[in-house]
Amino acid sequence: MDLPVIPTPLLPRWVWMEEVTYSHIPIATLVTAFLFLAPIFEYIGYRRKDMRYDRLAKSLVFFSMILFSPGAALGTGIPMFIIGLYPEFWSRWANIFFWPLIAQFVFFTLEVVVLFFGYYLTWDRWMNRKRLHILFGVLSALTGMSIQIIWDGIGSYMMTPGAPLPGVNEPVGWSAQGFFNPSFPYLFTHRFFANISYTMLLAGGVFALKYLHAKVKEEKNYFAFAADITFSIGFLAFFAMPFIGWGYAKILQHNAPVAFHAIMGGHSGSKFIFKMAMVSVFLTIAAVYLFIRHRDKPVILSFATAGLASLYLFLSWHPALDWFGSTATWRIAYTIVLVGFIAFLWVIRKTDKQVTSEPWQWAMFIAGIAAFLAFAMGGFVRERARQPHTVYKQIIKPEVLPREADEFLVYDKCVVCHSTPKFLDRYKKRDWVERVKVERERPGVDITDDEVEHIIRYLRERYP
Ligand code: HEC
C-alpha cells in the first residue's frame, strides 16, 4: 500500500509520536483514576459524616476538571499525528475498530455531560442531596472507565492481534476477536491498578508537600489526612501488579514472543530494569511509611504482609537475573534483601508514629515521582518491545531500519527456542554461517534462504 508518508522536519518520526502520546496519556489516566475514586471518597465521607473525605473527593474532581480540556486537546493531536506519519496503519486499524472508536466518542461526550453538569457544577448545590450527587459521580466514573476499556481493547490489539489487520479497501468496522484479543484483559487490569497506584502515590507526595507549606493548623491536619490516605491506597493498590504482570508476561510469551524476549533481557530490557528500579524505590519508601504510620492496624498490616509474601513468591518464580550468575545466588540475594528489610522494620518498630518531619514529606514526594516514572517507562517498554511493528507481525512501520527488521527476525526464528537473547552473546565461537546452517536443519524450524542471509548479517554485526 503506497499511502503518502509525511516526513518529519527534525527528530525521528517515533519521537514525535511518542511525545504527543506522552502529553495525553498521563492526563487521561490521572483523570480516569481520580474520577473512579472520587465518588468512593465522597460516599465514605457521607456515611461517616466526615467532611475531610468530601473535601478530598471534591479536590480530585476539581483537579480533573482543570486537566480535562488540555487532556482532550492533546488527545486530538494523536490521530492527527498517526494519520500523517503512519497513514497505512491508521487506515487499517481505524477500519477494523471503527465502531469502538465511535463508541468511545459517545462515552466521551456522555462523560462531559454527567461530569460537568451532574457532578462538578452541583457539588455545593446538592450538599443535601448527596445520594443523587454520588450517583452522578458513579456515572462519570463509569463513562471514564468505558473509554479506558475501549482504548485498552484496541491498544492491546497492537501487541497481540487476535484477528488479522484488514486491508485499506476492506470495510470491517468491528472485530470481536480483534477487540477481545489475548492480552486485552491483562492490559486493562494492569492499567487499572497501575493508574490507581501511581496517581495516588503521586497525589500523596503532593499533599505531603502541601502539608509542609500549610500555615494554619486545620489546613495542616487536612493535608496530613489527605497525604496519608492517598499514599496508603497507592501502595496497597500496587500489590495486584506482580500477579497481573506475571499473567501478562505469560500471555506475551505465548502470543508475542519477540516482544516478550525484547523485554526479558533483550533490547527493551534496560528500560524494563529502569522501570523495576523505580518500582523498588517507591515500594521501599511506601512500605516503611505504612509500617511506621499504621503498624497497629491489623487490616493494613496483614495486607502488607500478604504483599510481601506475594513479592517473595514472584521472585522465586522468576528465573535468576544474569548478574547473579546461578539460581542459588539469585535466591540467596533476594532472600537476604527481604529478610534484611523485615529486620530493619523490626529495629524501627518503636519509632514515633508521626511521619510529620520534613524529610518524610520529601521522601513521599520522591516516591510519587518514582511511581510516575515507573508508569511512564512501562508504556515505553511495551511500545518499544514490538518494534519495528506497529501491529505485531501485521504491519511494519514505514521508517524501519534494516537492522531492526533483522533483529526481529533473529528473535522470531532463533531466540524463541533458546529462552533468552543472551545465549547469543555467550556463544564465543561466532561461526555464524555454519551455526545458522546447523540450526535451520533442526526439526520444525522453517527459515528461508533469504532469511538466512538477514540473520547472518545481523549476527555478524551484533556479535562480531
Ligand atoms: C527448534 C529450536 C531451535 C531453534 C529455532 C534454534 N535453535 Fe539454536 N539450538 C537449539 C538446540 C536444541 C541446541 C543444542 C543445545 C544447546 O546447545 O543449547 C541449539 C544450539 C545453539 C547454539 C550453540 C549454543 C552453545 O552454547 O553451544 C547456538 C549458538 C544456536 N543454537 C544459535 C541459534 C540461532 C542463531 C538460531 C536461529 C537461526 C537458532 N539457534 C535456532 C534449538 C534451536
Pocket of ligand 1 contains residue 414 by CB under 6 Å: yes
CB distance 444 to ligand 1 below 6 Å: yes
271 domain-assigned: yes
User: d(Cα 89, Cα 220) in Å, to the nearest integer?
Assistant: 52
How many domains is the chain built from?
Answer: 3
| 396 belongs to a structural domain | no
| 367-385 mean pLDDT | 95
For 79, 99, 185, 432, the CA distances from 73, given in Å and listed in that order, are 11, 22, 28, 51
pLDDT value for 422: 85
Q: Is residue 203 domain-shared with residue 327, that is, in the same domain?
A: yes
pLDDT of residue 259: 96
Q: Give me the helices (H) in 386-415, please.
A: 402-410
For the entire predicted model, the pTM comes to 0.93
Distances (CA, A) of 285 to 37, 234, 282, 340, 355: 23, 12, 5, 15, 12
The pLDDT of residue 416 is: 86
Q: Is residue 185 part of a domain?
A: no
C-alpha angle 237/289/197, rounded to 5°? 20
Whether the CB of 436 sits within 6 Å of ligand 1: yes
Instruction: Give 188's contacts (C-beta < 8 A, 6+ positions apart).
Output: 148, 149, 152, 153, 156
Question: Which pLDDT score is estimated for 232?
Answer: 94
Residue 320 vs residue 441, higher pLDDT = 441
- Are 105 and 158 a contacting pair, CB within 8 Å? no
The closest residue, in CA terms, to atom 15 on ligand 1 is: 418
The answer to whether residue 376 is domain-embedded is yes
> Among 112-121, 189-198, 415-424, 445-454, which stretch is predicted with the lowest mean pLDDT?
415-424
CATH number at residue 417: 1.10.760
Strand partners of residue 395: 391
Considering the domain architecture, whether residues 317 and 224 belong to the same structural domain is answered as yes
Cell 521501599 maps to which residue?
A: 284
Confidence grade of residue 455 (pLDDT, cut at 50, 70, 90): very high
Average confidence score pLDDT of the chain: 93
Confidence band, pLDDT 50/70/90 cuts, at residue 88: very high
Same domain, 132 and 235: no
User: Using CA atoms, how far apart are residues 453 and 432, in angstroms rounded to an integer?
Assistant: 11
pLDDT at residue 421 above 90? no
**So what's the pLDDT on residue 2?**
74
Q: Does residue 55 have a pLDDT over 80?
A: yes
Within-domain flag for 165: no
- Do 73 and 26 share a structural domain? yes
Do 376 and 436 sit in the same domain of this protein?
no
* Banded pLDDT at 242 (limits 50, 70, 90): confident
pLDDT digits (tens, 9 = 90+) for 300-327: 888 878 888 888 888 888 888 878 878 8
Q: Is there a single domain that holds both residue 366 and residue 415?
A: no
Average pLDDT over residues 364-375: 97
Written as one string, the DSSP assignment of 70-117 is HHHHHHHHHHHHHHHHSHHHHHHHHHHTHHHHHHHHHHHHHHHHIIII
Ligand 1 mean position, distance from CA 273 (Å): 26
Tell me, yes or no, whether 231 and 300 share the same domain: yes
Q: Which of 413, 415, 417 to mutate to test the pocket of ligand 1 (most atoms within 8 A of CB)?
A: 417
Q: Which residue's CA is minimally distant from atom 19 of ligand 1?
A: 439
Per the structure, the complete domain to which residue 89 belongs is given by 1-157
| 202 shares a domain with 348 | yes
Tell me: pLDDT of 187 over 70.
yes
Indicate whether 210 and 85 sit together in one domain. Answer: no
Q: What is the pLDDT of residues 137-184, one digit of tens each?
A: 999 999 999 999 999 999 999 999 999 999 988 889 999 999 999 999
| Section 117-126 average pLDDT | 96
